[in-house]
Amino acid sequence: MDRRTFVKTAITHLGALAVGAGLSSATFGNQEKPQNGNSALTSQEQAAPEGTLREYSLTAEPTQFEIPSRGIFEKWLYNGKFPGPEIRAREGERLRLTVKNSLPEGTTIHWHGIPLHNSMDGVPDITQPAISPGGNFVYEFDAAPSGSFLYHSHFGLQPERGLVGPLIVEERKSHIQYDREYTLALSDFLAEAPRPLGSGMRPGGGAMVAPPYIMLLINGRPPEAPAVFTVKNGERVRLRLINLSGATIYRFAIGGHPFIVTHTDGRPVEPLRVDALHLAPGERYDVLVEAKNPGAWPIAASSDNELPPARAVLRYLDSNETAPREGALPEGLSGGQLLNLENLRGMDLPEMRKPNRTFNFTLAGGEMKPGGMMSSMGTMSPAEMMTQQWTMNGQAYPSAEPLEIHQGEVVRIRLDNQSAMPHPMHLHGHFFRVGNVYKDTTIVWTHSKRVELDFIANNPGSWLFHCHNLYHMEGGMMRLVRYLPA
Ligand code: C2O
Ligand code: CU
């Protein structure tokens, strides 16, 4: 007999429920409502004991989506929303997510950062067959550990269609106190269907060397119609920064407010005050803002492409100002103290033994190779059939050797980036130690920048390790990490 408490939540494809309002429990989801850190946790702990089952339904389907002030776009979305609905559970609860595929092709969902059972990892052909059009799949796993995560399709470039969303596991005991919280999901946005880089699909011909994004968004809103996050003077506000982008690395800052980094990729760190941080695809940072500078301030995330920075507004309810000065950007976008990952100290680092096994990889690529688009693009010239290739030790997935490991080992991966692009490298199913923090995605910067990751092989199965720039991933910068039988 299953004695779990059941909390059933139906988020329908009609999209009637707002982001974050998907849970039927009244204590969850209303992000506008001030929450009082630990005291709120206590009452919720009683309301929802560990093992409570939280059910969600997600339907992936073609949707006409309106971006305020920009028009209507043909996207593929979860429950008609962009980003997808915020999935929320409390640490130790059980999540059951029923996914319906109403797309014209197969799909899966990957729960990025959660060290779940391999069969629930959502990688087509590796952990499950793709969910066929018209089909369903039920994902079920423990909501643990706490933290800010994301979920997305893991079927080719599908996330670029809009199949991405935030996933929050609330901690039962937090090392920080705050009065309210907001989720800030950063996205780069394509007006059209995604194509591999290098393919001659640019309007007017010529090889496409960067994805043709038309805007950078925070919570699905363009810079000229930004989301507004309200605060009261004196409050402490927790912001969950989640980069859902396909290829964009941001520099994030808030006008008039330094902030305190409290978590990286969901893992708690000793609080560290900075003015700005970099956030790569798949990465998350939780930060605390002390609201003691009344007014209306720009929140912004800039990239090194030509697009205007993504924007939102931090607005004090007790101030007469309702919008930042036209065009104002946070000073932190170009100056001030930028977070250096090496200065962060994780609070839940496991004891790491010396590695039993080390893999060395050189990251390279960007050159063109004959592409795989011939069949559908029969009329293209040979030059137009080229796609960009990205490699690890010269090999491009799937023509690449797996990393074979044994359960119980400490595994070290050394990365040396010899390419001209930064690579946010992500390991499925595990956290790794980088510097003095625990993360699941970390940037390897350009031009011989080296990074060392250590992880404990404690979650058997077949897992992906790849660059989270989706075009680099699709271009081959990916490996399988495979546990061998003992
Ligand atoms: Cu979020 Cu394989 O990735
Ligand atoms: Cu990359």
CA Rg value for the chain: 22
Q: Whose Cα sits closest to atom 3 in ligand 1?
A: 112
CA 281 to ligand 2 centroid distance, Å? 10
Residue pair 439/431 in contact by the 8 Å Cβ criterion: yes
Average pLDDT, the chain: 88
Report the pLDDT averaged over residues 267-282: 98
Which is the closest atom of ligand 1 to the Cα of 464?
A: 2
Ligand nearest to the CA of 423: 2
Q: How far is the CA of 230 from the centre of ligand 1 (A)?
A: 32
Distance from residue 467's CA to the centre of ligand 2 (Å): 5
Distance 478 CA to ligand 2 centre (A): 9
Of 256, 272, 253, the C-alpha closest to 264 is 272
Whose alpha carbon is nearest atom 1 of ligand 1?
112
Ligand 2: centre distance to CA 64 (Å): 30
Cis bond leading into 83, ω under 30°? yes
Any ligand 1 atom below 6 A from CB of 159: no
**pTM for the model:** 0.89
Contact 421, 304 (CB under 8 A): no
Residues contacting residue 484 through CB under 8 Å, at least 6 positions apart: 404, 405, 406
CA atoms within 13 A on the CB side of 171: 17
Which H/E stretch holds residue 369? Answer: strand 357-370
Using the mean position of ligand 2's atoms as its centre, give its distance from the Cα of residue 361 in Å. Answer: 13
More reliable by pLDDT, 336 or 43: 336
Ligand nearest 443 Cα, by number?
A: 2
Instruction: Using the mean position of ligand 1's atoms as its centre, give its distance from the Cα of residue 469 in Å.
Output: 10
- Residues whose Cβ atom is located within 5 A of ion ligand 2: 423, 467, 469, 472
Ligand 1 centre to CA of 233 (Å) is 38
Ligand 1 touching residue 180 (CB < 6 A): no
In angstroms, rounded to a whole number, what is the distance separating the alpha carbons of residues 17 and 410? Answer: 44
In the chain the first and final C-alpha atoms are separated, in Å, by 34
Does any ligand 1 atom lie closer than 6 A to the CB of residue 472?
no
Give the pLDDT score at 371.
Answer: 55
Ligand 1 close to Cβ of residue 466 (< 6 A): yes
Q: How far apart are CA 165 and CA 30, in angstroms?
A: 17
Structure confidence at residue 27 as a pLDDT band (50, 70, 90): very low
Predicted confidence band of residue 368 (pLDDT cuts 50, 70, 90): confident
How confident is residue 300, by pLDDT bands cut at 50, 70 and 90?
A: very high
For 84, residues 6+ apart whose C-beta sits below 8 A from its C-beta are: 58, 77, 78, 151, 162, 163, 164, 165, 166
Overall average pLDDT of the 279-286 stretch:
98
**195 within ligand 1 shell (Cβ under 6 A):** no
Please work out, in degrees rounded to the nearest 5, the angle formed at the alpha carbon of residue 254 by the alpha carbons of 172 and 160: 75
Q: Cα separation of 363 and 79, whole Å?
A: 37
Percent of the chain with pLDDT over 90: 78
Task: List all residues 6 or more positions away from 226 whose beta carbon is below 8 Å from its beta carbon.
Answer: 218, 299, 311, 312, 313
Token digits of residue 436: 């003095």
Residues 417, 447: contact at Cβ < 8 Å?
A: yes
The model's pLDDT over 379-430, given as tens digits with 9 standing for 90+, comes to: 445 555 567 899 999 999 999 999 999 999 999 999 999 999 999 999 999 9
Q: Which atom of ligand 1 is nearest to the CA of 281?
A: 1
Q: Which atom of ligand 1 is the closest one to the Cα of 466?
A: 2
Distance set, CA 384 to CA 109, 159, 378 (Å): 32, 24, 11
Kindly state if the Cβ of 238 falls inside 6 Å of ligand 1: no
Q: Is 282 in the pocket of ligand 1 (CB under 6 A)?
A: yes
pLDDT band at 486, cuts 50/70/90? confident
* 3-state class (DSSP) for residue 186: strand
